[in-house]
Amino acid sequence: MNIMKKKAAGAMLAMALGFSASAFAAIPIQHWTQASGAQVFLVESPSIPMLDVEVDFDAGSRRDTAAQAGLADVTALMAGKGVRAAGGEPALDENQLGEAWADLGASFGGSAGRDEMSFRLRTLTEPDLLQKAVRLAARELGEPAWPEAVWQRERERITASIKESRTRPGTIAGDAYRKAVFGSHPYGYQATPESLAAISLADMRARYDEGVQPCRAKVSIVGAVTREQADALVTQLLARLPKSESGACQPLPALPEVAPLAAPKEELIPFQSAQAHVLIGQPGFKRNDPDYFPLLVGNYILGGGGFVSRLTEEVREKRGLSYSVGSYFSPGLQAGAFTITLQTRPDQATEAVRVSRQVLADFIARGPTEAELKAAKDYLQGGFALRIDSNAKLLANVASIAWNGLPLDYLDTWVQNVGQVTAADIKAAFARKLQPEKMVTVVVGGS
């Protein structure tokens, strides 16, 4: 292990041991907009010489078309497969780029979600090391090489992985469920061998050039840097991307809202397996919805609380219909799904679905008990520190605040907001958001 790697390992350990001591302290988030249009969100954390940065752009999979589903994912992947020669600096292929990051004891990489395309940098803040890491990240972000041979290899690899996944009941259930819940909305798209075959490097470059621009960037930073240092860092990081002269981007095409379900849907898909896979749900809500906290607390009681949830009590404990059962919301910039998920013996699938639906209907009709509400609040409030007990977790929260337009004091008021939720709030929020009589039910492998 070289000196830089040893320093990085030591700093990460110190961060893990020391961060929690200030977990309940106020977390001031500084926010400003650069001349380029880039929005910056900073939490100064000077006790550990580490820096975590996330740069988000509106270039996620909701910008894909059905014919090119997977374009966002492969664009983010291929952007990290080498940099071209530019500005007197030599080209680096994917192996040389990986070695360069290893030598720095730092990391940088891209990924795509439903809404955003994200790039994350982690490095020590020792001045010489930080400068080298930011410069290399700026090259990778602004000068991707787009190597054709690597794309051909990666397309074959991903295609083989998709084909293999289609032999598993969980994948079959998930694909059918997303299509049924989201219909023609891009949230329901999944990459296929056919859609990958329709994607070229020119398509990736076009997506990248349109979406990955400074004026579209939301940059979240947590670490041992001042505001002045952070501002200079962001300027350098985005310097090699194409810029708008006015600092304002052309608006991206408007996207449709997720349509509510008009009627119930049920899909029973034959499959020979020891367990039937069951998914029940519908479109839910957006992340910035004012019902977020009642739905968060309520879902912990319904099915998000593991062995203490109602679904576990009724489906698993009382009837032995499933080893595990749960529920969750997945909100985004648009309405993500509400889902109940379980696995059960094929001959028990019908009964497990019936009981799960009944538990949900009863919860919506009556809401939680006061005892359930108190237990949920105690757990969520008591566990808040674990949500922000490292720079990486804190960064994820800051990036969510930035991306979803949440208040800058969101983390400071989180415990208070949970504490203010009443049983009536939960009952009303669930009644507004969920319609159990119109939900999708997908069963793969039931008898």
**Ordered DSSP codes for 173-208:** HHHHHHHHHHTTSGGG----HHHHHT--HHHHHHHH
Cα angle value 60/161/441 (rounded, 5°): 70
Of 115, 97, 123, residue with least CA distance to 237 = 123
What is the bridge-based pairing of β-strands 265-269 and 440-444?
parallel
Q: What is d(CA 303, CA 357) in angstroms, rounded to the nearest whole number?
A: 12
> For residue 48, is pLDDT > 70?
yes
Tens of pLDDT, residues 82-141 = 999 998 999 999 999 999 999 999 999 999 999 999 999 999 999 999 999 999 999 999
* Residue 284 backbone phi and psi in degrees, to 5: -110, -100
Residue, of 3 and 288, whose pLDDT is higher: 288
> For residue 427, is pLDDT > 90?
yes
> For residue 389, is pLDDT > 50?
yes
Which pTM was predicted? Answer: 0.92
> For residue 78, is pLDDT > 70?
yes
Residue pair 190/68 in contact (Cβ under 8 Å)? The answer is: no
- Give the mean pLDDT of the chain: 93
Average pLDDT over residues 293-298: 98
Residue 319 pLDDT class (50, 70, 90 cuts): very high
> For residue 4, is pLDDT > 60?
no
Domain with CATH 3.30.830.10 in the chain: 28-238, 265-444
Q: How far apart are the first and last CA of the chain?
A: 55
> For residue 334, is pLDDT > 90?
yes
Tens of pLDDT, residues 172-219 = 999 999 999 999 999 999 999 999 999 999 999 999 999 999 999 999
Residue pair 425/294 in contact (Cβ under 8 Å)? The answer is: yes
> For residue 3, is pLDDT > 80?
no
What one-letter code names the amino acid at 320?
G
Residue 246 pLDDT class (50, 70, 90 cuts): low
Q: Which CATH architecture has domain 28-238?
A: 2-Layer Sandwich (3.30)
Average pLDDT over residues 268-275: 95
Cβ-Cβ contacts under 8 Å for 144 (sequence gap 6 or more) = 78, 79, 80, 81, 82, 83, 84, 208
Residue pair 324/342 in contact (Cβ under 8 Å)? The answer is: yes
Average pLDDT over residues 58-85: 98
pLDDT of 242 reads: 86
* Residue 207 backbone phi and psi in degrees, to 5: -60, -45
Residue 247 pLDDT class (50, 70, 90 cuts): low
Kind and range of the H or E run holding 268: strand 265-269
Tens of pLDDT, residues 6-36 = 444 444 444 433 333 344 568 999 999 999 9
Query: Was domain 265-444 assigned CATH 3.30.830.10?
Result: yes
